[in-house]
Amino acid sequence: MDTVEVITLITYIFFVVLVLATFVERALEIAMAGFKYLEFRLGWAEVWNRLAVRYARRLDRLYGLQGSQGQAWQRFLDRLFWRLVSESPVPGGRRILSARLIRLNYLRVITRLVAFGLSLILVLALKIDLIEYIIQLLSGAYPQVKIISSIIESKAVHYGLTALAISIGTEPLHQFLVRIEELEKRRRAKIEGGQS
């Protein structure tokens, strides 16, 4: 593959990921706006309060059943769950269970799953296999890539990884491109500095 083909393929890969990721992000923003409207209109705020009460009871029971492993169990709960659903109303104050954080974390997980699902639907409908393009791109320069491609032969894995790349959004892709530009500027500065 010559340089023009490589650049064209890389541009195509980034363009497809960027367009699909933007579409998925905007679709999720519209869905979240609709959800927030329904939540307000139908009074679903009480759902999060009831969930906070249920979690408070569950945590009280777990702390009550600590036994001799109390310290280790409490630290485990602190790291795993408590920090996700509690906040301190004042700096340095006692942490309390927060319906707001429970809602935020539930919605965060749900939106990530919906983003992945929507990305997977798009990838399957359009039959986009970015992993195959990347393997094709790298196999000329790096023969070891053929070993990796034989390990990851499954199209399902290719489609899943492509959907994952699209579902993470445009910001990681933007940061990646900015880093590539910075590396290129440093390389050019080093070359120009060495020639003078």
Q: pTM of the full predicted structure?
A: 0.73
In the DSSP assignment, the letter for residue 97 is E
Summarised one tens digit per residue, pLDDT across range 8-22 is 878 888 888 899 999
Residue type, 183: L
Which pLDDT band holds residue 184 (cuts at 50, 70, 90)?
confident
Q: Is the pLDDT of residue 24 over 90?
A: yes
Domain ranges in the chain are 3-195
Q: Which residues contact 85 (CB under 8 A, 6 or more apart)?
A: 52, 55, 97, 98, 101, 102, 105
The answer to whether 155 and 131 have CB atoms below 8 angstroms apart is no
Q: What angle do CA 157, 160, 166 make, to 5 degrees?
A: 140
Q: How far is CA 139 from CA 32, 149, 192, in A?
A: 41, 9, 31
Q: How many CA atoms lie within 13 A of 51 on its CB side?
A: 16
Summarised one tens digit per residue, pLDDT across range 58-114 is 776 665 554 445 566 666 666 666 666 777 666 766 667 778 888 888 899 999 999
